[in-house]
Structure 1
Amino acid sequence: MPRGKYTNHKGRNRKFTSPEELEEQRKQEEIKQKWRKEHGGESSSEEESGDEKSGSGSSEDSDSEGDHPVKAKGVSGLIEVENPNRVVKKNKKLTTLNNLGGEGEKPQLSRREREEIERQRAAAAYQKAHAEGKTEQARADLARLAIIRQQREEAAKRREQEKKAKDEVPKKR
């Protein structure tokens, strides 16, 4: 029977785990849990408290509770996916944080960040020089200010002379 032009490849390469493999994995997990209980640790106390709460539950129920305390909804509980792009937040030791802070090592900056910092420094230096009158623009501004002050002083003198002249005119009459 011909399949035609379009073929569907879904389900052709499915691989099912055999019951023997599943049983072997379960036994390995039980061995690991026994070893943890014998050697003691933080996880063993949690498992024991979980066993006490479950009471007369089967061993498979206690295994699933120890591995996955919160049950995921839907298919996400069955599939374990490792996302390569996910950044896991790592806990830092206090000693390493103190060493980094004390030495004062600068973090590696990108080219744009370095250029931006350099631009800010240059602008601050220019402002400082401008305030001290050392730049060409500052000199030009100061010269302009001096001319304007001189003109204002002359205008003020003229106004005073005109006032005096007006005051003298009534006195003469």
Structure 2
Amino acid sequence: MWDKLVSKAKEGNKFSMEEIIERLRPLLISSIRRYYNKPNEYDDLIQDGVICILESIKDFDESKEVHFLGYIQSKLKYLYLNKHKVKFHLSLNEPIGDNDGEIMDFLVSDSKDTIELIIEDETNNLIKESLDKLTERQREIILLFYMENMSMYEIADKLGISYRTVVNLKTTAVNNLKKWIR
């Protein structure tokens, strides 16, 4: 009986295809329940199963002496088992945690290694903490000298203090920074 239906279905007989699908509906439903039981997805799973059956009719080779029902049962089993392997898709704009950061914010460019970025971040934090320990005048001189690229004469003129005072404050500040950063 199955051989005749499958042969006619392979030739394109729509009635035979519909008959096979109707007769295999209980197998289809039991395969869904056994291998991928997600009731909220039943309609889609049944459609996937019908497509699998139709493709299996085309691919079925009678010369291999395999029973059609066993062949279909195996195809349905692996169809639904493989549904568990569906890849997880994640948006790079997906928020992370409670803050406003996104996954994209944490991706590292090829230009710097992750370890280098961590070290750079730690170094920056250490420098900021050390600068905060300096007196206000020392911090101002260090920032003007290293960040604004001002000469010590320019700093002395800007702050209204002597050149020698700028040299002494800068020297003391640099020595303190070296001590704290080590």
Q: Same fold (TM over 0.5)?
A: no
Larger Rg: 1
User: Which structure carries more helix by proportion?
Assistant: 2
Question: TM-score by structure 2 length?
Answer: 0.29
Using CA pairs under 8 Å that are at least 6 residues apart, name the structure with larger relative contact order, 1 or 2: 2
Question: TM-score by structure 1 length?
Answer: 0.30
